[in-house]
Each structure stands twice: as structure tokens, then as C-alpha cells.
């Protein structure tokens, strides 16, 4: 089949990694694949280098930006329209909010036979003002009218979409976001050497967070919880993997609370390096305010690291309470601190949860299984059209 994927930008992020793995897997299976993407990068880092020599074509859509720019958005629609008219794809598969709206509209206007959209995270969510949520909900409903299938990377995405009236349940299918599970093998990495690089000994309990240093990633709740947990558990140490525009602000808070010596900030790292750093941790703490299916939670579990997470969106589908980790009500800072203290004080529980988490996630989130399911969906939709 001739397939064109569309995504707004190629930053280091879950939706982007998912999309590149899909493009690569479909190419290996003999499909002709084109990836259309906007030119923007960001402080999260870029994945443009990842697309080199992967066997699929990459086309830059100059006018497609993440920010809402009405004139540029109309230009991006025309550019996508022109691209689809030239490629004549059998399938247009869109990802992310902006590309999902513009890409599906352009594909519909050109008459692309099959249009698919993946919901990696809701375009309207609890962090937005009410008018913005209403606008995106309206646009998603309109686009769903000419979408042949909607993929949710977690059951939560489908449930929230149906509740918002985007489309009926029969229009959705769950396909869990795939990972390069072969990267996430604890036996491949020297845990002690990694901790020595951080200056943390084996007597320390190291909790890691992998997220942009940016609002809505939960640092406003995480930092005070870290302070409380550290007061009660002196062996606690923390590693933050990532960078972002709020870094200096968060560093000032750490200094004010006396946490600077307990925290290591790694800055941006390539995706493969995340697996190595996870190997040095004892557990993962994820405090994001909204997610689809948080990839780092899955990655941590595949690395046999239990997870503490807010009880939101797709997190409960992988963080099974007292089995693979601990769930905390959204923005419950005291509850977050309590969970840290509980997990820090029980090495046997960390080990048990970590082993269960690896077993639970290893097969469900393999990228080959994801591509198999997506390819099967395309074929099903093509058969239905015939």
C-alpha cells in the first residue's frame, strides 16, 4: 500500500517515536511510506536524524507549525493537499492535534480512500482554558466525520473521546504504542557504574523522572513532594532526564528547598540513552498533568522499575496498584510523598513490582506488534471499501 503519515513536528516525544517506528515497520513490510512533517523542533530535541536512511521518504511541510496561525494553517492545508494529490496515497494516517486536523481535512478534500488518525493524547485536556477545549472538541468532531478509523494508544483515549461525542465506540480501535523493547533490557547495563557517574552509592534509593522541564509535566507537584519524602527518608536521591524552558526556575526551587545535592539533571539525551539511565534507577516517578499513554512509564516497567504515577489517562492501564506500581490522585502532593516513602523503604516490594511490570509490558508494547496491528487495520479498511 501507498501510505502517508503526517505529524506536526519531530521533537523527541512519544507520538513522534511511535510514528517513526510505524513508518519504519511498514517500510520493512514492503509498503511505500512517506512522512510529512512540519519544520519546527524545540528544546525537547529533534528526531530528524532518526529518519535518515530508514527507507521511507520525508517531506517537510513549511507552513505547518504547532502554534495556531490561521494564515499559515491555510497554507499548510494547501501544501498537504498538493502533496496528497501528487502521491495519490491509499492511506493518510495523521498524528498529533494540528497535523490531525489539517491532514485529515486535506486528505478528505483530495479524496484519499482511507483516512486514519491516532490519538496519542487528547487535543482538548484539563490543562487548557475552557474556550480552547471547546474549539478543539468541535474540530475533532468535524474531522471524525471523514475519518475511517480512530486509533487510541490507550483505552482511556477512546473512553474520553466517546464521552466528548467525537465519534461512536465502533469507530475506535486500541493499538498500544510500541517501543523498541530490545533496548530496554536491564542485563545490558552496568547499574553500579551509572550510579557512580551520578555520585550515588548503593545505599541510596534513586527515583527517576523522564520529562521535559516544562509546565504541565508535574514538577510543580513533584518538587514539594520530593522535599517532604527526603525529609522522612534521607537515603532518597533523584535523577531528572530532560530539559526545557522552565529549567532555571526549577533549579531555583531545588536550591531554596535544599535539594540541589540530592538531584542530578542530565539534560537532553538520545532515546537509546534513556534505557541506560533507567537501569541506574530504583523506581520511576511520573507526575505529568495529562498524557495519552506515558511511554516512560512503560519503558521504566520494561526495565523492571516500579512506577509511581498520578491516576490519570492511560497510566492505570500499566501502573497496576500494588502490582506494578503505585497510583496517586491527581495533584495530591502529600500522597505523592507518601508513595515515595513507602516504595523507598521496601526493596523487596520494588523488586516484586519491577519484575511484574516487565512481564506485563514486554509483549504488549513491542513495536512489531504495534505495526502488525496497524497494518491489519489498513487491510481491513481497504477490504471494506472494496
pLDDT in tens, 106-142: 999 999 999 999 999 877 766 677 888 888 889 899 9
pLDDT at 207: 98
pLDDT tens string, the chain, 386 residues long: the values are 999 999 999 888 888 999 999 999 999 999 999 999 999 877 777 888 888 778 899 999 999 998 888 889 999 999 999 999 999 999 999 998 889 999 999 999 999 999 999 999 877 766 677 888 888 889 899 999 999 999 999 999 899 999 989 999 999 999 999 999 999 999 999 999 999 999 999 999 999 999 989 888 999 999 999 999 999 999 999 999 999 889 999 999 999 999 999 999 999 888 889 999 999 999 999 999 888 888 899 999 999 999 999 999 889 999 999 999 999 999 999 999 999 999 999 999 999 999 999 999 998 999 999 999 999 999 999 999 88
pLDDT in tens, 23-71: 999 999 999 999 999 998 777 778 888 887 788 999 999 999 988 888 8
The rounded mean pLDDT for the chain is: 93
Beta strands in 243-372 (DSSP E): 263-265, 283-286, 307-310, 325-328
The three-class DSSP label of residue 375 is helix
State the Cα–Cα distance between residues 305 and 278, nearest whole angstrom: 8
Q: What is the DSSP letter of 168?
A: -
Which residue ranges form the domains of the chain, and what is each CATH number?
2-178+366-381 (3.40.50.2000), 181-362 (3.40.50.2000)
Q: Which of 72, 11, 5 is nearest to 36 (CA)?
A: 5
156-183 b/e with 16+ CB inside 10 Å = b? bbbebbbeeebbeeeebbbbbbbbbbeb
Grid cell, residue 29, equals 513490510
Do residues 308 and 340 touch, judged by C-beta distance below 8 A?
A: yes
Q: Which residue has the cell 500494588?
A: 322
pLDDT at 299: 95
Longest Cα–Cα distance in the chain: 66
State the Cα–Cα distance between residues 211 and 166, nearest whole angstrom: 29
pLDDT at 129: 79
Q: How many CA atoms lie within 13 A of 170 on its CB side?
A: 0
pLDDT at 22: 97
304 CB neighbour count, 10 Å cutoff: 21
Amino acid at each position: 500500500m501507498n501510505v502517508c503519515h503526517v505529524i506536526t513536528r519531530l521533537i523527541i516525544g512519544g507520538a513522534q517515536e511511535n510514528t517513526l517506528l510505524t513508518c519504519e515497520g511498514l517500510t520493512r513490510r514492503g509498503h511505500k511510506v512517506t512522512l510529512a512533517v512540519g519544520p519546527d523542533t524545540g528544546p525537547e530535541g529533534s528526531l530528524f536524524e532518526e529518519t535518515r536512511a530508514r527507507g521511507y521518504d520525508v517531506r517537510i511541510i513549511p507552513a505547518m507549525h504547532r502554534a495556531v496561525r490561521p494564515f499559515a494553517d491555510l497554507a499548510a492545508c494547501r501544501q498537504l493537499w498538493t502533496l496528497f494529490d501528487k502521491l495519490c496515497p491509499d492511506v493518510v494516517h495523521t498524528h498529533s492535534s494540528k497535523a490531525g486536523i489539517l491532514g485529515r481535512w486535506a486528505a478528505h478534500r483530495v479524496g484519499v480512500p482511507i483516512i486514519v488518525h491516532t490519538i496519542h493524547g487528547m487535543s482538548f485536556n484539563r490543562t487548557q482554558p475552557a474556550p480552547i477545549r471547546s474549539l478543539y472538541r468541535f474540530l475533532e468532531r468535524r474531522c471524525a466525520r471523514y475519518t475511517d478509523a480512530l486509533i487510541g494508544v490507550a483505552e482511556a483515549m477512546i473512553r474520553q473521546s466517546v464521552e466528548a461525542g467525537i465519534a461512536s465506540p465502533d469507530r475506535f480501535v486500541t493499538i498500544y504504542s510500541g517501543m523498541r523493547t530490545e533496548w530496554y533490557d536491564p542485563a545490558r547495563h552496568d547499574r553500579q557504574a551509572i550510579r557512580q557517574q551520578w555520585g550515588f552509592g548503593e545505599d541510596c534509593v534513586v527515583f527517576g523522572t523522564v520529562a521535559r522541564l516544562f509546565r504541565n509535566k508535574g514538577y510543580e507537584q513533584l518538587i514539594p513532594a520530593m522535599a517532604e519524602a527526603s525529609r522522612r527518608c534521607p537515603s532518597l536521591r533523584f535523577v531528572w532526564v530532560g530539559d526545557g524552558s522552565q529549567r532555571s526556575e526549577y533549579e531555583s526551587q531545588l536550591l531554596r528547598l535544599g535539594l540541589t545535592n540530592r538531584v542530578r539533571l542530565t539534560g537532553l539525551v538520545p532515546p537509546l540513552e534513556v534505557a541506560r539511565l533507567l537501569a541506574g534507577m530504583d523506581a520511576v516517578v511520573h507526575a505529568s498533568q495529562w498524557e495519552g499513554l506515558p511511554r516512560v512509564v512503560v519503558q521504566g516497567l520494561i526495565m523492571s522499575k516500579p512506577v509511581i504515577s498520578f491516576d490519570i489517562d492511560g497510566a492505570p492501564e500499566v501502573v497496576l496498584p500494588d502490582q506494578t506500581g503505585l497510583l496517586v490522585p491527581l495533584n495530591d502532593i502529600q500522597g505523592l510523598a507518601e508513595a515515595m516513602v513507602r516504595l523507598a523503604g521496601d526493596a523487596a516490594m520494588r523488586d516484586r513490582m519491577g519484575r511484574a511490570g516487565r512481564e506485563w509490558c514486554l509483549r504488549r508494547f513491542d513495536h512489531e506488534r504495534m505495526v502488525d496491528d496497524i497494518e491489519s487495520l489498513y487491510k481491513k479498511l481497504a477490504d471494506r471499501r472494496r
